[in-house]
């Protein structure tokens, strides 16, 4: 097993997010915002 030196550690690039991760985050945010404003506009009591 080879240990990395400090200059090699600084050059490591991590994984990047792909389009599907961005799309799911945007969809979740839009769903939350729509649900939030729907709850303000039409509040339902607990059953």
pTM score: 0.56
Question: Residue 31: what pLDDT?
Answer: 97
E strands, 1-47, where?
Answer: none
3-state secondary structure of 32: helix
Instruction: Please give the average pLDDT of every successive group of 10 residues along the chain, which has 47 residues.
Output: 82 75 93 94 81
Question: Residue 37: what pLDDT?
Answer: 93
Question: Residue 9: what pLDDT?
Answer: 81
Give the phi and the psi of residue 39 in degrees, each rounded to 5.
-65, -35
The DSSP letter of residue 11 is: T
3-state secondary structure of 24: helix
Tokens, residue 29: 């945010």
Question: Residue 26: what pLDDT?
Answer: 95
Question: Residue 44: what pLDDT?
Answer: 81
């Amino acid at each position: 097993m080879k240990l990395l030196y400090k200059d090699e550690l600084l050059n490591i690039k991590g994984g990047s997010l792909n389009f599907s991760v961005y799309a799911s985050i945007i969809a979740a945010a839009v769903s939350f915002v729509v649900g939030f404003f729907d709850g303000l506009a039409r509040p339902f009591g607990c059953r």
